[in-house]
Structure 1
Amino acid sequence: MHIFITSFSTRINTCTLKALRVFFIVAIILSGCKKDKKPVVTTDPPADIYMTFEQANNQGKIHEYVICKLQGDTLNGVLSSLQDTTKLLAPSFIVADGSTLKVNGIVQKSGVTINDFKKPVTYTLTRADGTNKNYTVNITRYSGLPIFYLTTASPVVSKDNYVTGTLKVDVNDSPYQQDVTSIDLQIKGRGNSTWDMPKKPYRLKFNKKTGMLGFPAAKNWVLLANYADKTLMRNAIAFEMGKQFGADFTPSGRFVEVVMNGEYIGNYYMTQQVEVDPNRINITDIKTTDNTGDAVTGGYLLELDQRLGEVNYFYTTHGLPINLNTPDNTTTDQFNYIKQYIQDTEDAIFAANFADPVNGYAKYINVDSFIDWYLVKEIMKDNDAKDYSSIYYYKDRNGKLGMGPLWDFDLAAGNTNYSDCQYPTGWWIMNSTWFQRLFQDPAFKAKVKAKWNELKGQKLPGILTFIDQTAKQLDLSQGYNFQRWDILHIYVWPNPVVTGSYLNEVKYTRDWLSQRINWMDQQISTW
């Protein structure tokens, strides 16, 4: 709860000041049940308005005493309730003697006049001397992020079996479009190590394709928990980087609050599922009848995954486990085709003439796609991206092998204590099986350098700005999340540091990435 105490215009008389002193004392007492322990005394210039929202004047709508904090010409208040409300509220206010407040020309009465605070409301204050000043009143419910209310027929306890349920979407104070707000669905757990953590990630499967928070309609969506990532944003940072770099089929996401069966379970990152779809991985949807000629050449979605998470998989001669994600019902001809294509690709990479621009590896791979994927993963220094898991490839019909989409970054950017990925210096992805060989080609290395030099002017500094903006966006949400999951002061596997606060977690990650980018820039400049 924000407490705002400031000096008022000298036009306020002595009696009013005495009344204000009593008012502030009462306000401080009433605010004792809120998260702020002490009143915050501002040093802003003298102001001539003070606004609160009181339970007595808003029966059945609010259950707390809300004091608005003045920032410039904006009065900001926060309702801590997760329950939906029309926000038709009557504020109480104090203004200097002789001043009046109006909204759209209507005189306001303190504690009586009702306004709709779903959107910011502009109050015009007319002083005794006839001068006017506009104040914008902005009331945020909870964190201001969209709120997902999930109701399930039974507890979600499995990554394998779906549970039926419904999702109600409240866009809250966010700017996102949501036409359908009540959605029938199935839900199950997801993830590998993340599923074993207290805060669980989930897979949502809608009964009908539905657009979500401004994203195109689809059935499959993911709720990433980011439990071990105490910034809550490493995946968002990587996806933003991927979009800025032009990495193929980078997913999009939104931060949301999630309430499951009446219980608040934290801040989540809702993302698009990795799947072949015109609005996601836009490649040819191969059918079971596509077994010969051009038809059998695509499209395929594959994952290098040591866990062997798919039914159909094979090993290359260099020991890389390639899982066939799509198509689901793979025919023998399709399996044999893509297995041979991947092996031909690997053979070309390790051939004596591998650097030949016509008959070498460039005959089989989309070099630019590989470089864009590589740079994001190398900057983030994702531990699993060195031949372990979540390494996606795609091959469209009559196309070359490309890399993407990017995925799985909660343990990246210095958030791993069991490998050299903890440190912002040193190459990582460059030392993986295929990339180690590709970097032996001077032409490939030159293309990586050219792309880096293209990015470092604006794109890379923009990532650090994105971190700052996202931390600001999550300011309220992270507070609620870490009230629910009180882990900022304790070790969570595999954190290399325990910083003790959200802002320190963000600073650690931002500093780590800044050092990483500087180190890579110094190395690449010598090529």
Structure 2
Amino acid sequence: MKRSHKIFLGGCSLLAVTLLTACLWNFNSPSSSDEDDAFVYLPLDDSEYPYANLQRLVIQTENAADVRNRETKVPAKLQIYGKDSPESFILDLEIRGRGNSSWQLSKYGYRLEFEHKVSLFGMPADKSWNLLSNQRDKSLVRNYITNQLAENLGDEYVPRSVFVEVFLNKNYRGIFQLIESVKVSPDRVDIPESNQSFLLEKSSEDDQDKKHAEFYTEAGNRFFIKSPKKPSLGDIDNVKNHLDDFEKFILSDAAKNPDSLSKWIDFESLVRYYLIQEFTKNIDGNFHKSIYLSWVKNSPIHLGPVWDFDLAYGLSLGEKLSAEDYYAGNAGWFAALFNSEENFSHVRQFWKDHHREFEAVADSARETIRRLTPAAKNEYKRWPILNEKFWVFAESFKRYEDTADSLTDWIQKRIAWLDAELLSPISESASYR
């Protein structure tokens, strides 16, 4: 379906095809009162990668400039396409690369910053959005189904997302997960925006982030300060000192009592967040990185939202992890906080009370993969990696549909192992402790 531009191109000649990209910068999006033939759209040639039941994001950068790195913001325009035609006006934004280790892949992610707040696919309006490539996960769904799980378990905020196909400068880039960025906002992480409120991300040594302030606790944990955006040295000292005090507390006998612990950290969010990490066996979830938390002065620390699960459910770099054994519980705060039966009994109870939600993840995975199967033909035509297996890819497949069997089989085995651990008599369980 090759698209030609209609009239109202701000004085651009329809015959000047070679100047088309430059001309696109000279018009304004029409208002609802404009006539139908005044509607304009970005160029899309989907003859090689046809519509496959997912809406498309068509993005055109200024002068067709490449998105080369994670720092340089490139002016661009974006339009949503349905099956046969555009379904939005053209939106102004800046685009840059995103991700750390995923940036090394051929299909990398993008960060979108719109000129004005926009509501995309019914999600609350905001300027900041991400496009996750999910290339290390050949099923493409691990992040999505984990967010569904967190929502079903009652997380206060879970980043909303939809799957889309992306065309950048008329080149097909594949299936992406358009997802809300994690930020302080009434519709996202709903805490006050002040120097008494902090949104933090536990990170690792290999993470590069030149935008946010950071600090190390005395225990050696590295945190980025996502909010406030420009903390003073005093603000940084305040949050660092609080986490230093907390990390000293969790090593004390008092931390083995849930009532005492709840004065420092929201206990329900701790148990829920830990079990999501443990259930998925997320390789970043053993208190390594992509661990979000918030703290408002004179209030308990709150863990969440969940983020970054493309290497989970058995996936690791170049190898498949067993569905057995504890993982998240062996490291960081989790190892210290659940090193008492009194605290760990709440993990057992949460697993028992929410068993149905964890069981539902396998069905969620299978249904989401079924829904993506038509578009996956485009994805793996553009990126023919399904049957490849090397350091970044732990599995190989003949067909995209086969990823469902592999993923759901691992989930079912993981549930069986956790059942044996968490629902069995105390003396026979909790082997990591």
User: What is the TM-score normalised by the length of structure 2?
Assistant: 0.82
Query: Residue 254 of structure 2 aligns to which amino acid in structure 1?
Result: N
1:470 matched to 2:364: no
1:162 matched to 2:73: yes
**Structure-2 change in CA distance of 1:170 and 1:235 (3 Å):** same
Query: SS in structure 1 opposite 2:173?
Result: strand
Matched ranges for 1:101-500 at <5 A: 142-153=51-62, 154-172=65-83, 180-286=88-194, 290=195, 296=196, 298-307=197-206, 309-310=208-209, 311-358=212-259, 360-417=260-317, 422-456=321-355, 458-500=356-398
Of 387, 395, 413, the match for 1:515: 413
Structure 1 residue 409: deviation in Å? 1.0
**Structure-2 change in CA distance of 1:417 and 1:334 (3 Å):** closer
Query: Residue 378 of structure 2 aligns to which amino acid in structure 1?
Result: Y
Structure 1 residue 155: deviation in Å? 0.8
Query: Residue 448 of structure 1 aligns to which amino acid in structure 2?
Result: V
Query: SS in structure 1 opposite 2:254?
Result: coil
Query: Residue 206 of structure 1 aligns to which amino acid in structure 2?
Result: F
2:27 aligns with none
Structure 1 residue 484: deviation in Å? 0.8
Structure 1 residue 211: deviation in Å? 0.2
Structure 1 residue 491: deviation in Å? 1.8
Structure 1 residue 505: deviation in Å? 1.8
Specify every segment of 5 or more residues in structure 2 that has no aligned partner in the other structure, as ranges: 6-49, 427-433
Map Cα deviations across residues 170-208 of structure 1 (whole Å, 9 max, x no partner).
2449xxxx9853210000001011111111210000000
Query: Residue 143 of structure 1 aligns to which amino acid in structure 2?
Result: A
Structure 1 residue 305: deviation in Å? 3.2
Matched ranges for 1:14-163 at <5 A: 81=1, 142-153=51-62, 154-163=65-74
Query: SS in structure 2 opposite 1:353?
Result: helix
**Structure-2 change in CA distance of 1:326 and 1:303 (3 Å):** farther
User: What is the TM-score normalised by the length of structure 1?
Assistant: 0.68
Query: Residue 373 of structure 1 aligns to which amino acid in structure 2?
Result: Y
Structure 1 residue 448: deviation in Å? 0.9
Map Cα deviations across residues 114-135 of structure 1 (whole Å, 9 max, x no partner).
xxxxxxxxxxxxxxxxxxxxxx
Distance in 1 (alpha carbons) for counterparts of 2:54 and 2:337: 43
Distance in 1 (alpha carbons) for counterparts of 2:303 and 2:390: 31
Query: SS in structure 2 opposite 1:283?
Result: coil
The structure with the larger Rg is 1
Over aligned residue pairs, what C-alpha RMSD do you find?
2.2
Distance in 2 (alpha carbons) for counterparts of 1:424 and 1:82: 47
- Whether the 8 Å CA contact 2:258–2:342 is kept in 1: the answer is no
Query: Residue 442 of structure 1 aligns to which amino acid in structure 2?
Result: E
Query: SS in structure 1 opposite 2:387?
Result: coil
Query: SS in structure 2 opposite 1:481?
Result: helix
1:133 aligns with none
Higher strand share: 1
Distance in 2 (alpha carbons) for counterparts of 1:485 and 1:497: 15
Query: Residue 469 of structure 1 aligns to which amino acid in structure 2?
Result: E
- Whether the 8 Å CA contact 2:100–2:207 is kept in 1: the answer is no
Alignment length (residue pairs) = 377
Distance in 1 (alpha carbons) for counterparts of 2:308 and 2:186: 22
- Whether the 8 Å CA contact 1:309–1:323 is kept in 2: the answer is no
Distance in 2 (alpha carbons) for counterparts of 1:408 and 1:479: 25
**Structure-2 change in CA distance of 1:225 and 1:278 (3 Å):** same
Structure 1 residue 227: deviation in Å? 1.2
Structure 1 residue 313: deviation in Å? 2.3
Distance in 2 (alpha carbons) for counterparts of 1:209 and 1:344: 39
Structure 1 residue 320: deviation in Å? 1.5
Distance in 1 (alpha carbons) for counterparts of 2:264 and 2:139: 39
Query: Residue 190 of structure 2 aligns to which amino acid in structure 1?
Result: N
Distance in 1 (alpha carbons) for counterparts of 2:165 and 2:90: 16
- Whether the 8 Å CA contact 1:303–1:325 is kept in 2: the answer is no
Instruction: Name which structure has the greater RCO, CA cutoff 8 Å, separation 6+.
Output: 2
Distance in 1 (alpha carbons) for counterparts of 2:79 and 2:162: 16
